[in-house]
Each structure stands twice: as C-alpha cells, then as structure tokens.
C-alpha cells in the first residue's frame, strides 16, 4: 500500500519514501529527511550537483571541535558527494533549465537514496540523470555513489567532475586545517585536521566510467581534489559513473590517510559493495523491524523513525553516543542529552543490546568530565553534563542569541539547574542490567556510574530541619517552562529511586565482586557513612502529593501559579512560551512537556511509587490539558500516547502517536531542517511496543496486553530479553493471555526463517506518454507487469515440493492434484486448504508457514537462468528495446531472490511483492502498486498471469490481461496463450488493438 504525505510531495510505501516534486522552499528540511548513514557517520540528503544555500553535511561520531569562546560542536566533515555533470557546456543544476520529471526515493530496507531527474538544459538538451548513494553498513568506512546519464534527444559532449570538498562549514565556521592531498591510481585523496581538537581525517575516492571510453584526469586544486572526464554521448545510450569513497579519522586509527588509500585499492566494484550493504541491512531489520497491518502510513513511518536511529547508532565504538539530532543536522551542535538514555536507548536494549551497551559505556568513559563539573559547582561525585560532547564536560551554551537584533540575549539555565539527568542515566544503566543480566559490564562500568552519580545527590540535597525533610532546591524539571523551582516531583523522586538502586548495587558488589567493591570504595571515597546518608535521604526526601486523591504537585507552589486555558490560544503556530514570554510562562500552569506524567511513565514498568492506575488517571486529568503538546517539546507526544493507551483513550493515544510519528516527515514543528528529532523517534518505538503492544516485563520474559489502535489488524515484532528472542504477533481483537508472544517466554527462532529484505532496483521513469490520435484504436501501452510463478519461471514446482515436504512431516495427504488448488493463492490460504479442519493453534500455523517458506528458499537457491521458461528472456529483451517498462507483480515474499537467481533483476524496473501491499490477489492492490512504481496509469499496463485470481486482479485494476494456461483457468483474460514461447510484442500489440477496435 502507499499513501501520500501532507503537502510534502511524499508517497509512503511499506519500505520506500518517494518524493514526487522538488520544492526549493523545503530544501533544508528535506536534506534532513533524506539523511543516510551507517552508525559511523551520517550524510544529509543534499544534492550531488549542489544547490544555492544548501546545507550539505557529513557528521562522523566523536569528531568534535571548539568554536572559539562559544561552544564545542560536532564537525561538518569534508563532503564526499560532489559530482558535477556538464551537458554541452550547461552545468546540470535544478535552479536552472527545466525539470521535466523528478523522483527521489529513500529505500529503508537497504539504506539507499535514489534520485532520478529528466532535465532540459538552458540550451534545450533533454537528459535523464539518476543518482544513488549509500553509506555501507557492512563496512563503516566505505561510501558509494552511482550516476546513470542518458541523453534523451541529443548527441553531444558530457563532462564529469567528481570531487572531495575540503572546505565544509558549520554554518559559517570551517573547523579544518589543510594538511595534504594528492592522487593515486584512478583516485584522489585528502588530509585534514581539526583546528582545536587536532583530529586528523583521511579521505580517498576513485571513479569508474561504464558504457563509454573515457579517460580520467586529476586536478588537485587546494582543498578540492577532483577526478574529471568527458565523452561524446549518444541518444538513449546510458553511461554510468561510479564513485567510491573511503574515510578514516585518527579517533580509530593512527594513520587515517594510508588507511583510506589502502582500503580504496582493495575494494570491489559498486554492485558488490551494494550487495554487502544489503545483506548487513537484512540482518539488522530481522532484529529490529516492526510490522503493522491496517495502517499504511504508520507501517512506513514507524520504520522510517527506526531507520533514523539505526543509522545513528554507534555499532563499533563505545566512546560516542547519539546526539539529540542524530547525525542529520546542525541542531544542538551534535550534543548528547538525556534524550539518548530515556528515549532512544530502549529500542537498542530490546533489539540490539550490544549497541545499548555502547551508548552507556560512553557515559562511563565521560565520568571524568562529570566529576569536573561537580567539582566546579562545589559538589561531590559525578554531575553529568546537561549537554555532553566528547569529554563529558558541560557544553551547553551559557547564552542563546535571540533573533531580535536589539533584543536581550537569553540565559540558558539548563546547564546549571536541569540535574535530573544525573538520575536518568543510572535509570538507563539499571534497566540495561535488568534486561541483559550483563553482570560483567555492570561491575566494570555500570556500578561506577550509579555510585558516583549517587554521591552527587548526597552532596546536592539540603536538609530542612523545620520539615525534617531533604529538599532539592533551585532546579529545572523535565518541564523546562519553569526555570527555577524547588522540590520538583520528577527530580526528587528520580533522585530517591537512584539512591535506592545505588544501595542495592553497593550491596551486590560487596557480595559478588568484593575486589571491585573495594576498588570503588577507595577510588570514589565511599564509606559506610555515605551509604547510611543515602538511606536517610531515601526515607526523608520531600515529595509533594495528596495521598487521598494521589494528585502530585509538579513542584512546590505550582498549584498557586496562574492557571490558563490553552484552548483560548488556539489556533496557534508557536509555543506558549513564545506567545506569553519567558517570565509570564514561568508564572503559569502551562507545561513544555510532561513532567509528573513522565515520572509516572518511568515508574510504570516496575509499578514503583507513585505509579498506580488511580494516580495515572488523576494526574492525567490535571496535567494533560495544561501541557503544550503541539509546540512545546517534541519529547512529549510519544509519552502521552503510551499513557493515554493505558487509560483506554485510544483516539487520543493515536492522535499523540501520529503527532510524534510525523514530526519530521511532515515537519509539523517547522524545525526539521535542524535535524531528526531523535528522542521522538525513540519514543515512537516505545509507544508501539509498550503502549499499543502493552508489553510488560516479567521474570519469565516479556508478555503482551495489546491495545491496538482502531484499524490496526496486526502488530508483529521481536524483543531480546536476557539472552533470548521473543516473537510477538498481535492481532485485532486479541487481548491478554498466552497469545502475547506466540507462547510468551519462549525463545524465538531467529536465523531459521528465511525472509528476504532485498531492495527493489532503481525505479526508472516511464517514457513520456505518447498520446494517440483520438480516433486511434491502439492502446497506449507503457508497461508490462509479470507474475513470476508459471509465467517467467516454474517456481510452482518448488512451491509444490516445499508444501509436500511440510505435509509429509505433518502426516497430511497431499499430491499434485491437491496442489492445483493452491495456484495464485497466498501462503496462509494455501496452508488452510492443506490442513482443512485439522486443529492447529495460531502459533502452529505461523510456524508451519515459516517452515514451508524455509524449504522453498532452500530450493530456490539452486535456481539458475536455465530455469527461465521458454520465450521469457526474448520477450523481456524485446519490451526493453521498445522502451516498455517492466514490473513484477508476485504475491511471493521471495520474488527478489528468485529474480536474482534467474539473472534478470537488471531487466526489471519495479517489483511489487508480498511485502508491498496488504490485500492479496484477487484484490487489485499488487498490480496497482506495481504500476505506480513504474510511473504509469492502469490503462497503460498489461498484466501477464497464469492464475484465475491474478487475471481477476488485473481486470479489477483496469488493466489489460494476458492469461497463460488453459481457458478454463484464465479464460477471463483479454488474450489467452499457452505460454510465452514465440510470443512477440508486435503480435500482442496487434491483438490488443483489435480488441480495442471491437470495443469501439
């Protein structure tokens, strides 16, 4: 299925984001949206040829540098993208000439960004240019770019310039010093070093030209080494330019330039690198994918948000973490907040725990910086920075410069007062330990984080003798609209929770790792008196709430603040703080984001005080209407979606979920240009799993109590818990019980289910429509859509063998005659026909479908081009020569694998397979999806099918149908043939014309 984005010129399929029109007004936000990466670096979706005022950027984890006087920031690294195409003297650029066609796609399944343009130059030459790029997930130091160039209506000189831009800027500031550059065999290289942090970078690039005789020249202009070539282009002849880049920094290797050069020399070609990247993504999606049925927008958008976190997650480095804006923009200057531990980390904790460990190890490595901050403020222990970079020292800017030239600068108090992060990080450390049982990491790293941060609380609290209570005064809570408050409920309770866990860890270490306990006692100056002090704080910390109603006061005096009705300010397009001003907002009961509700969410999983159903309902009723959920913090909507789901407020839960889900795709806050909202993306995962999936963690493993939103018919995912995988397949109308995880607590079968996540090929443009004369009976056919089984190859035999093997194992009679009834039928429907009325549970049915698929995949691995049916390859080649687009419309989820084994993947322009739509044949969805991918209308499409259901689907789609096989099976088709042997496009066109003439 596919849906359209709101005014963003977007189409969403299950896996692919398609932009159908270039809008210069959205240039910067789209650069963010089309970011690619691999966990080592991220590259914004800027154009290879450049565009005026664009913000191209490649950010590498951990490459920070100082801007004099002001701040530390993540550095924009040399740009590996530049690829200039000059057409008969006219430089290809989208701000000149005429854009006749435009299409940009982000394929989440393999991290591939594709852009195809038909462009008419100022001189009148029309050319098709397509770009594709990826940052290899298989090798983080490898980047690749490919460009296809096809003249449409001219012959002439094409010039290519492929460069490395050594002058990147962070919005006006260049962090790099030039060291050296040069050329190697078929390549160039660049050496740079950051001005303050002295991090050295080496980048190398090589270019390959395919489809034309062209020699390369090297130009080593300072800071801009370039490989260039030119060739005489012919009409409809495609020339391909492949640019492969390697990059290293001195953070991971002492000699980055030789490392980049050496790797470049030994790399295989683009296609091989792409396949390795694809396989790496297959493995990641096997662990992290979420399948939603019944909501096509959510199906894609959830995967999109996961993708943006996956490409920003450090896979091989435990000294870095994910910035608030990931690696996609200049916002917050690449700094790390509590966003990572509280919002982003759970995704990795339950799907890729090694990455979760890396994120937390970053905090362990930066403890020295946290200790320096505590000492600066006169406290003990470790005081984590509100904004952190490479060392863990505080890097929050002290002042924010306003947009008003004559206005006052704004003091940023978060660095001084927003101290709840000191409990948020231990909260994430504790949860990692609970979910993984990783005692080794806990005693080496985690315990030190928890204990040293606890020492800070011991020195930060104040004892009020009149109340006989410990207080924490002068703070900012999770709600940043109130900048100087006392006894914030979130901060006080999280500090109390933290100290409770610190005592438990202290005792655990002494019992299980006494040597490490002694070491930490000495290094941190921990004493029995300190432990007793913690216990006293836990017992006597002030927490303001009414036990009878369970209403919690957000901070001392909040209820006496001025109450306002947010509805009185609607409609609006900015935050309440922007409307009221900072001083007025400080004095009102209006929240930037959930504060008390955030506390309840964090205590929800373990049902710790103050969480219970009554407290949730009471505090929701009070605080939700007072929260600026639309233009306050982007962290809020996902949390409210989860809690609303708990309260049975399904409409409100879904509304808040969608607000978080589309924050970047629809740019609904107007700041996507700054970078991806990483915390919101992480909150989306939690909203789906813990909110709608209702996951609860028990000693026996996770179980589900689902609250699926209206319209969702299925929610499928897997979780890793204490060394085991747990599969969940939740369906509409199913509540609690064992269904929760297909046998809650059982180990999943990762690695046994052969599911292909192979990418579709580059979607080419359909030819410009040739409009026939009004009197002409010739149909305007622009594309053919082929079924696979029984049409191009006889995989029906392999399906039969797989079903036969399964049936034999289950003791069910099954033969070729029974197999005939399965032709054109989905896997589930086929299995239902085979088992008839035999009693099988849903879990058993799922297992049998996966087992059959595994057998089928094993069989297709032996396929070769020899398995193509007679006439197939000849017809495909003839259609391509006639500029007819070719698509595949197969219900099989292994269609791409079959095409690769048959050797015809490069002959296909689009694939619609079992992953593409929800409704199988005879519904027309699959063929309509294929036509949309081809860029043609249904009436311009011919479907070739061998099953009655397929013919019915084609007719329902309003397409021409060619049936292969006996009339009794495919007789409803416009044309019926025994097979493709000897079939010519000219003959088919003549027959279709005759049918069209008869209709007239």
Q: Rounded to whole angstroms, how far apart are CA atoms 973 and 961?
A: 5
Q: b vs e for 213-241, b when ≥16 Cβ sit within 10 Å of the residue's Cβ?
A: ebebeeeeeebbbbbbbebebeeeeebbb
Has residue 739 got a pLDDT over 50?
no
Q: What is the pLDDT of residue 767?
A: 28
Per-residue CA distances from 460 to 168, 204, 337, 665 (Å)? 43, 51, 21, 42
- Looking at residues 247-271, what average pLDDT do you find? 97
The 10s digit of each residue's pLDDT in 967-977 is: 888 889 999 99
Three-state DSSP at 593 gives coil
The 10s digit of each residue's pLDDT in 420-460 is: 999 999 999 999 999 999 999 999 999 999 999 999 999 99
Has residue 86 got a pLDDT over 50?
yes
Complete DSSP assignment for 643-656: HHHHTT-HHHHHHH
Q: Rounded to whole angstroms, how far apart are CA atoms 972 and 962?
A: 9
The 10s digit of each residue's pLDDT in 33-79 is: 999 999 999 999 999 999 999 999 999 999 999 987 678 999 999 99
Q: What is the pLDDT of residue 771?
A: 28
- Looking at residues 157-182, what average pLDDT do you find? 95
- Looking at residues 719-730, what average pLDDT do you find? 95
Q: What is the pLDDT of residue 1000?
A: 61
Q: Rounded to whole angstroms, how far apart are CA atoms 101 and 115?
A: 11
Of 234-248, 361-375, 765-779, 984-998, the least confident: 765-779
Three-state DSSP at 405 gives coil
| pLDDT-above-70 percentage for the chain | 94
- Looking at residues 649-677, what average pLDDT do you find? 95
Q: Pairing mode, if any, of strands 783-786 and 941-945? A: parallel
Q: Among 607, 670, 684, which Cα is nearest to 641's?
A: 684
The 10s digit of each residue's pLDDT in 821-865 is: 887 677 788 898 899 888 888 778 878 888 888 888 888 888 888
The 10s digit of each residue's pLDDT in 921-966 is: 889 999 999 999 899 999 999 999 999 999 999 999 999 999 998 8
Has residue 735 got a pLDDT over 50?
no
Has residue 91 got a pLDDT over 70?
yes
Q: Is the peptide bond before 922 cis (omega within 30 degrees of 0)?
A: yes
Q: What is the pLDDT of residue 3?
A: 53
Long-range Cβ contacts of 913-918 (<8 Å, 24+ apart): 913/888, 914/827, 914/890, 915/14, 915/15, 915/757, 916/1, 916/13, 916/14, 917/1, 917/14, 918/1, 918/293, 918/294, 918/296
Three-state DSSP at 50 gives coil
Higher pLDDT, 112 or 6: 112
Structural tokens at position 41? 């670096």
Q: What is the pLDDT of residue 2?
A: 54
Has residue 250 got a pLDDT over 50?
yes
Average pLDDT, the chain: 90
Confidence at 746, pLDDT banded by 50, 70, 90:
very low
Q: What is the pLDDT of residue 918?
A: 78
- Looking at residues 866-885, what average pLDDT do you find? 90
Confidence at 770, pLDDT banded by 50, 70, 90:
very low
Q: What is the pLDDT of residue 171?
A: 84
Q: Tell me the three-class secondary structure of 67-92, residue by residue.
A: ECCCEEEEEECCECCCEEEEECCEEC
Strand stretches in 885-940, DSSP E: 885-889, 910-912
Q: What is the pLDDT of residue 842?
A: 76
Q: Among 113, 125, 114, 124, which Cα is nearest to 150's?
A: 125
DSSP state of 519: H
Q: Tell me the three-class secondary structure of 950-980, residue by residue.
A: HHHHHHHCCCEEEEECCHHHHCCCCEEECCC
Q: Among 83, 115, 188, 145, which Cα is nearest to 274's?
A: 145
The 10s digit of each residue's pLDDT in 270-301 is: 999 999 999 999 999 999 999 999 999 999 99
Has residue 477 got a pLDDT over 60?
yes
Long-range Cβ contacts of 363-368 (<8 Å, 24+ apart): 363/321, 363/392, 363/425, 363/429, 363/449, 364/445, 364/446, 364/448, 364/449, 365/318, 365/319, 365/392, 366/390, 366/391, 366/392, 367/392, 367/448, 367/449, 367/452, 368/392
Has residue 240 got a pLDDT over 50?
yes
Has residue 742 got a pLDDT over 70?
no
Has residue 745 got a pLDDT over 60?
no
Of 145-159, 390-404, 735-749, the least confident: 735-749
Q: What is the pLDDT of residue 906?
A: 85
pTM, full prediction: 0.76
The 10s digit of each residue's pLDDT in 184-239 is: 987 999 999 999 999 999 999 999 999 998 889 999 899 999 999 999 999 999 99
Q: Rounded to whole angstroms, how far apart are CA atoms 610 and 550?
A: 8
Q: Rounded to whole angstroms, how far apart are CA atoms 824 and 423?
A: 57
Higher pLDDT, 881 or 431: 431
The 10s digit of each residue's pLDDT in 352-402 is: 999 999 999 999 999 999 999 999 999 999 999 999 999 999 999 988 876
Q: Is the peptide bond before 571 cis (omega within 30 degrees of 0)?
A: yes
Three-state DSSP at 148 gives strand
Q: What is the pLDDT of residue 777?
A: 53
DSSP state of 679: H
| pLDDT-above-90 percentage for the chain | 76
Q: What is the pLDDT of residue 757?
A: 25
Q: What is the pLDDT of residue 758?
A: 26
Per-residue CA distances from 843 to 1, 721, 832 (Å)? 26, 20, 14
Q: Rounded to whole angstroms, how far apart are CA atoms 133 and 284?
A: 19
The 10s digit of each residue's pLDDT in 529-581 is: 999 999 999 999 999 999 999 999 999 999 999 999 999 999 898 999 999 99
Catalytic positions, please? 480
Q: What is the pLDDT of residue 765?
A: 27
- Looking at residues 877-904, what average pLDDT do you find? 88
């Amino acid at each position: 299925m596919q849906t359209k984005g709101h005014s963003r010129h977007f189409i969403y399929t299950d896996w692919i984001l398609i932009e159908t029109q270039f809008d210069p007004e959205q240039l910067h936000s789209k650069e963010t949206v089309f970011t690619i990466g691999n966990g080592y670096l991220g590259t914004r979706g800027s154009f290879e040829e450049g565009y005026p005022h664009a913000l191209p950027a490649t950010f590498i984890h951990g490459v920070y540098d100082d801007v004099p006087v002001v701040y530390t920031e993540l550095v924009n690294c040399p740009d590996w993208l530049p690829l200039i195409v000059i057409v008969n003297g006219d430089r290809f650029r989208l701000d000149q000439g005429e854009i006749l066609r435009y299409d940009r796609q982000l394929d989440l399944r393999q991290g591939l960004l594709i852009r195809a343009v038909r462009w008419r130059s100022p001189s009148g030459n029309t050319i098709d240019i397509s770009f594709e790029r990826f940052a290899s997930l298989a090798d983080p130091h490898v980047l690749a770019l490919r460009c296809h160039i096809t003249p449409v209506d001219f012959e002439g000189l094409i010039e290519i310039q492929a460069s490395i831009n050594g002058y990147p800027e962070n919005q006006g500031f260049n962090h790099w010093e030039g060291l050296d550059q040069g050329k190697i065999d078929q390549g160039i290289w660049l050496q740079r070093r950051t001005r303050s942090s002295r991090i050295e970078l080496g980048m190398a690039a090589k270019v390959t030209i395919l489809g034309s005789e062209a020699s390369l020249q090297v130009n080593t202009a300072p800071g801009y080494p370039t490989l260039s070539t030119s060739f005489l282009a012919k009409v409809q002849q495609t020339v391909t330019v492949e640019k492969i880049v390697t990059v290293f920094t001195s953070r991971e290797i002492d000699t980055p330039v030789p490392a980049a050069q050496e790797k470049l020399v030994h790399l295989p070609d683009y296609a091989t690198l792409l396949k390795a990247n694809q396989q790496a993504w297959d493995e990641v999606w096997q662990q992290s994918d979420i399948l939603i049925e019944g909501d096509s927008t959510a199906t894609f958008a959830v995967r999109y948000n996961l993708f943006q976190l996956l490409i920003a997650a450090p896979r091989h480095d435990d000294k870095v973490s994910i910035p608030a804006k990931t690696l996609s923009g200049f916002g917050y200057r690449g700094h790390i907040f509590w966003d990572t531990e509280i919002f982003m980390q759970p995704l990795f904790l339950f799907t890729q725990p090694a990455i979760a460990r890396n994120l937390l190890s970053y905090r362990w490595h930066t403890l020295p910086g946290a200790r320096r901050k505590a000492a600066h403020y006169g406290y003990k222990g470790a005081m984590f920075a509100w904004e952190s970079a490479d060392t863990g020292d505080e890097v929050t800017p002290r002042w924010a410069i306003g947009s008003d030239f004559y206005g006052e600068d704004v003091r940023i108090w978060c660095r001084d007062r927003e101290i709840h992060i000191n409990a948020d990080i231990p909260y994430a450390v504790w949860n990692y330990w609970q979910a993984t049982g990783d005692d080794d990491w806990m005693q080496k790293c985690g315990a030190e984080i928890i204990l040293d941060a606890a020492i800070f609380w011991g020195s930060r609290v104040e004892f009020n003798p009149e109340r006989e209570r410990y207080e924490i005064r002068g703070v900012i809570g999770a709600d940043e609209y109130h900048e100087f408050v006392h006894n914030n409920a979130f901060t006080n309770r999280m500090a109390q929770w933290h100290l409770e866990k610190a005592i438990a860890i202290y005792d655990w270490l002494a019992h299980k790792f006494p040597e490490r306990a002694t070491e930490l006692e000495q290094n941190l100056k921990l004493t029995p008196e300190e432990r007793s002090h913690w216990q006293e704080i836990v017992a006597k910390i002030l927490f303001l709430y009414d036990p009878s109603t369970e209403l919690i006061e957000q901070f001392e005096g909040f209820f006496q603040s001025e109450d306002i009705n947010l509805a009185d300010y609607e409609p609006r397009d900015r935050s309440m703080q922007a409307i009221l001003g900072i001083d007025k907002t400080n004095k009102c009961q209006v929240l930037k984001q959930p504060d008390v509700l955030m506390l309840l969410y964090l205590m929800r999983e373990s049902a710790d005080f103050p969480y219970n159903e009554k407290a949730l309902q009471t505090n929701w009723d009070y605080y939700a209407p007072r929260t600026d959920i639309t233009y306050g913090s982007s962290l809020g909507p996902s949390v409210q979606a989860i809690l609303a789901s708990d309260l049975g407020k399904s409409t409100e839960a879904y509304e808040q979920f969608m607000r978080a889900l589309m924050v970047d795709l629809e740019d609904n806050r107007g700041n996507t240009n700054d970078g991806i909202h990483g915390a919101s993306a992480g909150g989306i995962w939690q909203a789906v799993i813990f909110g709608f999936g209702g996951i609860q963690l028990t000693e026996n493993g996770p179980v589900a109590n689902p609250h699926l939103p209206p319209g969702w018919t299925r929610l499928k995912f897997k979780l890793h818990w204490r060394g085991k995988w747990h599969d969940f397949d939740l369906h509409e109308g199913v509540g609690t019980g064992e269904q929760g995880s297909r046998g809650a607590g059982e180990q999943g079968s990762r690695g046994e289910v052969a599911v292909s996540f192979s990418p579709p090929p580059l979607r080419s443009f359909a030819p410009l429509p040739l409009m026939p004369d009004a009197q002409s009976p010739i149909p305007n056919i622009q594309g053919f859509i082929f079924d696979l089984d029984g049409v191009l190859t006889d995989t029906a035999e392999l399906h039969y063998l797989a079903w036969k093997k399964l049936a034999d194992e289950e003791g069910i009679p099954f033969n070729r005659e029974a197999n005939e009834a399965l032709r054109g039928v989905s896997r589930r429907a086929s299995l239902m026909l085979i088992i008839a009325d035999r009693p099988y549970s849903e879990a058993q049915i799922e297992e049998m479908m996966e087992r059959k698929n595994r057998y089928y995949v094993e069989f297709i691995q032996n396929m070769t081009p020899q398995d193509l049916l007679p006439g197939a390859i000849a017809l495909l080649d003839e259609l391509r020569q006639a500029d007819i687009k070719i698509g595949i419309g197969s219900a099989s989820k292994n269609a791409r694998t079959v095409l690769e084994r048959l050797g015809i993947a490069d002959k296909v322009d689009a694939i619609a397979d079992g992953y593409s739509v929800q409704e199988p044949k005879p519904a027309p969805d699959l063929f309509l999806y294929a036509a949309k991918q081809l860029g043609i209308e249904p009436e311009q499409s011919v479907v070739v099918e061998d099953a009655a259901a397929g013919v019915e689907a084609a007719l329902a789609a309003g397409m021409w149908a060619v049936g292969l096989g006996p009339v009794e099976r495919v007789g409803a088709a416009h044309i019926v043939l025994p097979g493709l042997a000897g079939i010519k496009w000219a003959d088919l066109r003549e027959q279709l014309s005759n049918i069209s003439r008869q209709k007239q």
